[in-house]
Amino acid sequence: MPNIEITTKPTGRSPERKVHYGSRTNHLDLSRPKYNKIGEEKYFWEFYFDFDEYDLDHNLVFYTSGMCFRVETNDDRHAQFVRNMFTVVDNPYDHCADWTILHNTEMKTLPAIAVNLNEHIMLIAGTTFLGEIKKGVFSILGFELPDQNILPMHCAAFTYENKTNLMFGLSGTGKTTLSSDPKFRLISDDEVSWNDEGIRIIETGCYAKSEGLTQETHPTIFNAVEEARKQKTLVVENPGASNARLSYPIDCVSNAWIDQEQFGHPDNIFFLTMDATGRFPPVSKISGDTVRRFFETGYTSQMPGTEAGNDEIKKIFSPCYGSPFMPRPVKVYSDMLMDKITNGNCNVYLINTGMDGSGNRFSLDFTRTCVKSAIDIGIADNSKEVLNILEGLL
């Protein structure tokens, strides 16, 4: 299949258009109604039977996190995207899916995502944005895995100097850039789970932003994209847009772990914040309630001019560093994280990828050095200082 370019409508996910159905919705966190809406079940079935009018020619089955998913879609481009992001099996009808995702890009409707938690069916229509399927899978895992004492995490993972590391961060904080350091060996660029044995990959593909991508600043990603282009597996989404993305299988990444799903417990965890106020140190070691507070708030900031009409620094909060994908109460995830950190004797660091006290952005090389130094030699704990700063911003 040739490389693919797609301009989507809309050009991003539509998490506010997601509605949940069924009695299992009693487990949702209704204090975050933007992402955790509940609907009457009759409307789900009306939407479900609308899909009967369309041919969903692609039937794709893959396994992740101990669960079997089936994706049925009408769209060649989205089928290739699924193949990039997951290891699709042969003979799909020989497998019994735990969850089914029906995906239609022809249906004339506003973006709509319907999730029946009892029937294990997700419906997606009215959008051609590629990430909707990917994050649909992740949000299902975000709901299901805690029942198995498995923590789903919106983070990158990599090894360096024989140590395993996690890196949490919202869009714009530098997670993809930092985790793709040429000296790191990539495990996953975006989604990982943490079970009793250690961490495990969720996807076998990458979905990287392309804005500012050069061989000098992002050599690992740049070379992976070129390899995918040669293999004719590259999917380019919304070329030229500020949120343009590139999808390719992880085996295009020269220094990635291939054919290994399970890894040991992490040695270090990094929380990234792009702090535009210049109040946080470039690197801080944190512990205890400070770790919980940062995880539960997911703080970062947005610079003036990032959005039309925005002429002030804007504070952004996304609990668990991925609020749209974590539908249960936030404390469910933070309790699991704190238990696993304690049991695994894991170090936690806060990295400020934003501004220093003079209003100058920390350089990429400097921040990369901070990360490596924390892994190599560690630093003294300054939880109280950074917690006081965070509380002042809330």
Q: CATH code at 71?
A: 3.40.449.10
End-of-domain residue from the set 220, 252, 284: 252
- pLDDT of 170: 87
Q: Are residues 66 and 122 in the same domain?
A: yes
- The CA distance from 216 to 229, in Å, is 19
Q: Are residues 48 and 194 in the same domain?
A: no
Over residues 20-64, the pLDDT tens digits come to 999 999 999 999 999 999 999 999 999 999 999 999 999 999 999
- The CA distance from 367 to 80, in Å, is 35
- pLDDT of 116: 98
State pTM to two decimals. 0.94
* Mean pLDDT along residues 12-23: 95
- The CA distance from 64 to 150, in Å, is 13
Nearest to residue 112, comparing CAs of 202, 14, 239, 257?
14
* Mean pLDDT along residues 368-387: 95
Nearest to residue 354, comparing CAs of 217, 218, 172, 211?
172
Cβ neighbours of residue 105 closer than 8 Å, sequence gap 6 or more = 73, 74, 75, 78, 125, 127, 128
Nearest to residue 35, comparing CAs of 332, 331, 394, 318?
318
- pLDDT of 173: 83
The answer, yes or no, to whether residue 325 has pLDDT greater than 90, is yes
The answer, yes or no, to whether residue 84 has pLDDT greater than 70, is yes
Over residues 226-269, the pLDDT tens digits come to 999 999 999 999 998 888 999 999 999 999 999 888 999 999 99
- pLDDT of 306: 37
Q: Are residues 98 and 183 in the same domain?
A: no
Domain of residue 351 covers 151-204+261-393
Over residues 149-189, the pLDDT tens digits come to 999 999 999 999 999 999 999 877 888 889 889 999 999 99
- The CA distance from 349 to 318, in Å, is 18
The answer, yes or no, to whether residue 223 has pLDDT greater than 60, is yes
Comparing 18-27, 47-56, 105-114, 301-310, the range with the smallest average pLDDT is 301-310
Q: Are residues 161 and 220 in the same domain?
A: no
- The CA distance from 369 to 376, in Å, is 10
Q: What are phi and psi of 242, to 5 degrees?
A: -65, -25
What would the 3-class secondary structure string for the chain be? CCCEEECCCCCCCCHHHEEEECHHHHHCCCCCCCCCEECCHHHHHHHHHHHHHCCCCEEEEEEECCEEEEEEECCHHHHHHHHHHCCECCCHHHCCCCEEEEEECCCCCCCEEEEECCCCEEEEECCCCCHHHHHHHHHHHHHHHHHHCCEEEEEEEEEECCEEEEEECCCCCCHHHHHCCCCCEEEECCEEEEECCEEEECCCEEEEECCCCCCCCCHHHHHHHHHHHHHCCCEEECCCCCCCEEEEEHHHCCCECCCCCECCCCCEEEEEECCCCCCCCCEEEECHHHHHHHHHHCEEEECCCCCCCCCCCEEEECHHHCHHHCCCCHHHHHHHHHHHHHHHCCEEEEEECCECCCCCECCHHHHHHHHHHHHHCCCCECHHHHHHHHHHHC
Say if CB 175 and CB 272 are below 8 A apart.
yes
Q: Are residues 21 and 80 in the same domain?
A: yes
Q: Are residues 216 and 325 in the same domain?
A: no
Over the chain, what is the mean pLDDT? 93
Q: Are residues 28 and 143 in the same domain?
A: yes
The pairs formed by 29-37 with CB atoms below 8 angstroms and a separation of 24 or more are 29/326, 29/327, 29/328, 29/329, 29/330, 31/329, 32/319, 32/323, 32/330, 35/323, 35/324, 35/327, 36/327
Angle formed by the axes of helices 383-393 and 288-297, to 10°? 30
- pLDDT of 259: 82
Tokens of 131: 């990430």
Q: Are residues 42 and 69 in the same domain?
A: yes
Q: Are residues 267 and 386 in the same domain?
A: yes
- pLDDT of 164: 97
CATH number of the domain encompassing residue 297: 3.90.228.20
- Residue count of the chain, please give it: 394
User: How many domains, the chain?
Assistant: 3
- pLDDT of 305: 38
Categorize the per-residue pLDDT at 307 as very low, low, confident or very high, splitting at 50, 70 and 90. very low
The answer, yes or no, to whether residue 315 has pLDDT greater than 90, is no
Q: Are residues 16 and 141 in the same domain?
A: yes
Q: Are residues 195 and 332 in the same domain?
A: yes
Q: Are residues 292 and 353 in the same domain?
A: yes
